[in-house]
Amino acid sequence: MSVDAPSKKPIAEAVEVPTFQITLRIERYNPEFDTESHYEDYEVTVHGTDRVLDALHTIKWDMDGSLSFRRSCAHGVCGSDAMRINGKNRLACKTLVKDVNPDKPITIEPIKGLPVEKDLIVDMEPFFDSYREIMPFLVTTGHEPTHERIQSQADKDRFDDTTKCILCAACTSSCPVFWNDGQYFGPAAIVNAHRFIFDSRDEAGDQRLQILNDKEGVWRCRTVFNCTEACPRGIEVTKAIAEVKRAIITRRV
Amino acid sequence: MSTTTSADSNRGPVVTDLTTKSPYERRTHSRGNFELWSWLFMRASGVLLLVLVFGHLFVNLMTGDGIKGVDFAFVAGKWSSPFWQFWDLLMLWLAELHGVNGVRTIINDYTERDSTRLVLKTLLFLSALLVMVLGTLVIFTFDPCIDPNSTLQQCTGR
């Protein structure tokens, strides 16, 4: 951009961010009264720069306080507000309303495959159970070093991609194999196993590979790529799963 | 853990009660490398089948008289050679096992109850057994002169 471009356009002429009307079609379920979930429409006025989360806040704070959803940091780091927006798993706090076709009603549903507790809140325990099973912590033997465990940049790069996971469950709940019976470990657990299996400082890689060699482990992955598409952090999930598969084959066969 | 029930069947297994085991809890932990070998077999047999099937199609359709030349006598001629017997046997076994394994994963992925799985897989394996036994039998016991009035070259020469 040229330097003198702004001088031609005085700041006073800066265009106001437009405001527009949208309809949010939210899947509601209240365990105290409902036997089945249903959809409710909400007309909301949003700013051009608003995110879906801001629209949900408007509903919860000004229109219908009974609407329930999770969110903590609201800036795409805590991983609390994964939901299905127009049929795709996304973080409500990272999705701009203007990007999800605001001309039509925007459907918002809880993530699939996990039991719904209320509205957009699902029971995340089964998800975290799988996560715990792959031992998501550093395992070492021998003396504890007196300084940091030094690692080369190349060694760090080996698993750098999978350290970005925020455990939002967008990937696991986008996986059709997980939807069926919930027995599959799911992409998130495999991604977090990958993070330690390929960490040069860790010594329990073989143990984790053995855990994922289960019939509900990596072999249930059908390389559908839904997880890679759903990941709000841009992790190459399917690639990570393929690397774990290859590691199991080369280390165990 | 929730004590609620969701009637929406699209929402995955229902957690009904605190006392019942969660449907998400892994039922069994498998030992051994069966799934690993089945995964590898799918890749290896797939590559091999590409060669076998396209070789088969090329020999049958592109060489000689092409599609017009394929008849009882053509097959009889082919199966008089151990090479084509072995080729067709390998193709039959690999295609059948490759297909069965694929359908087995589909059954695993799409059925929800173990009893349904058992019934479907039993049917699948029985059908595969039938096809493979029958196919193998035909390839090895094939008699081009089964018809006494046969005018085939191999039979009239006797």
- Structure token digits, residue B49: 């089948």
pLDDT, tens digit, 9 for 90 and up, residues B64-106:
787 888 888 888 888 888 999 999 999 999 999 999 999 999 9
Asked if A169 and A64 sit in the same domain, the reply is no
Asked if A116 and A173 sit in the same domain, the reply is no
Domain boundary, last residue among A122, A140, A173: A122
**Spatial separation of the C-alpha atoms in residues B8 and A179, rounded to whole Å:** 13
Residue A21 placed within a domain:
yes
What pLDDT, on a 0 to 100 scale, did the predictor assign at position B7?
46
Percent above pLDDT 90 for chain B: 47
Asked if A32 and A79 sit in the same domain, the reply is yes
Domain boundary, last residue among A122, A141, A173: A122
**Spatial separation of the C-alpha atoms in residues A227 and A174, rounded to whole Å:** 6
**Spatial separation of the C-alpha atoms in residues A79 and A171, rounded to whole Å:** 12
Q: Count of domains in chain A? A: 2
Q: Where are the domains of chain B?
A: 32-143
**Spatial separation of the C-alpha atoms in residues A112 and A84, rounded to whole Å:** 8
What pLDDT, on a 0 to 100 scale, did the predictor assign at position B125?
96
Residue A233 placed within a domain:
yes
**CATH code, domain with A169:** 1.10.1060.10
Rg of chain B, C-alpha, whole Å: 24
Asked if A106 and A18 sit in the same domain, the reply is yes
| Nearest of A26, A191, A173, A190 to residue A89 by alpha carbon | A173
Higher-confidence residue of B19 and A220: namely: A220
What pLDDT, on a 0 to 100 scale, did the predictor assign at position A5?
53
Q: How far is the alpha carbon of B137 from chain A, nearest alpha carbon, in Å?
A: 34
Residue A38 placed within a domain:
yes
Higher-confidence residue of B73 and A69: namely: A69
What pLDDT, on a 0 to 100 scale, did the predictor assign at position A223?
94
pLDDT, tens digit, 9 for 90 and up, residues A77-107:
999 999 999 999 999 999 999 999 999 999 9
Asked if A113 and A141 sit in the same domain, the reply is no
Percent above pLDDT 70 for chain B: 84
What pLDDT, on a 0 to 100 scale, did the predictor assign at position B16?
52
Q: How far is the alpha carbon of A13 from chain B, nearest alpha carbon, in Å?
A: 51
| Nearest of A90, A109, A112 to residue A100 by alpha carbon | A90
Asked if A114 and A132 sit in the same domain, the reply is no
Q: Which of A123, A185, A244, A245 would you mutate first to test chain B, the one with the most B CBs within 10 A?
A: A123
**In the predicted model, what is the mean pLDDT of residues A12-34?**
90
B1/A116 CB distance under 8 A: no
Contacts A37 to B, Cβ<8 Å: 6, 8, 11
Q: How far is the alpha carbon of A125 from chain B, nearest alpha carbon, in Å?
A: 7
**Could you tell me which chain A residue has the CA closest to the CA of B114?**
A181
Asked if A68 and A21 sit in the same domain, the reply is yes
**Spatial separation of the C-alpha atoms in residues B74 and B128, rounded to whole Å:** 27
| Residue B6: pLDDT over 50 | no
Contacts A182 to B, Cβ<8 Å: 12-13, 23-24
Q: How far is the alpha carbon of B125 from chain A, nearest alpha carbon, in Å?
A: 19
**Spatial separation of the C-alpha atoms in residues A162 and A164, rounded to whole Å:** 5
Domain enclosing residue A44, as ranges = 12-122
What pLDDT, on a 0 to 100 scale, did the predictor assign at position B3?
45
Interface membership of B24 toward A (CB under 8 Å)? yes
Asked if A28 and A111 sit in the same domain, the reply is yes
| Residue B4: pLDDT over 70 | no
Residue A114 placed within a domain:
yes
**Could you tell me which chain A residue has the CA closest to the CA of B22?**
A126
When pLDDT is cut at 50, 70 and 90, the band that residue B27 belongs to is: confident
State how far Cα A52 lies from the chain centre.
Answer: 15
Asked if A164 and A104 sit in the same domain, the reply is no
Residue A43, beta-bridge partner list: A23
Asked if A87 and A183 sit in the same domain, the reply is no
Contacts B25 to A, Cβ<8 Å: 126, 129
Residue A3 placed within a domain:
no
**Spatial separation of the C-alpha atoms in residues A207 and A196, rounded to whole Å:** 11
- Structure token digits, residue A242: 């393929």
- Cβ atoms of residues A59 and A24 within 8 Å: yes
Domain boundary, last residue among A122, A149, A165: A122
Contacts A116 to B, Cβ<8 Å: 6, 8, 11
State how far Cα B38 lies from the chain centre.
Answer: 13
| Nearest of A110, A93, A153 to residue B11 by alpha carbon | A110
**In the predicted model, what is the mean pLDDT of residues A192-217?**
94
Residue A6 placed within a domain:
no
Contacts B110 to A, Cβ<8 Å: 180
When pLDDT is cut at 50, 70 and 90, the band that residue A7 belongs to is: low
Residue A58 placed within a domain:
yes
CATH class, range B32-143: mainly alpha
Angle at A165 between CA A164 and CA A170, to 5 degrees: 135
Residue A129 placed within a domain:
yes
Least CB–CB distance from B7: residue in A36, A213, A220: A36
Q: How far is the alpha carbon of A177 from chain B, nearest alpha carbon, in Å?
A: 6
**Mean predicted lDDT score pLDDT of chain A:** 92
The interface pTM score, or ipTM, of the predicted complex is 0.80
Least CB–CB distance from A37: residue in B5, B8, B110: B8
**Spatial separation of the C-alpha atoms in residues A132 and B149, rounded to whole Å:** 74
Asked if A155 and A238 sit in the same domain, the reply is yes
Q: What SS3 class is residue B38?
A: helix
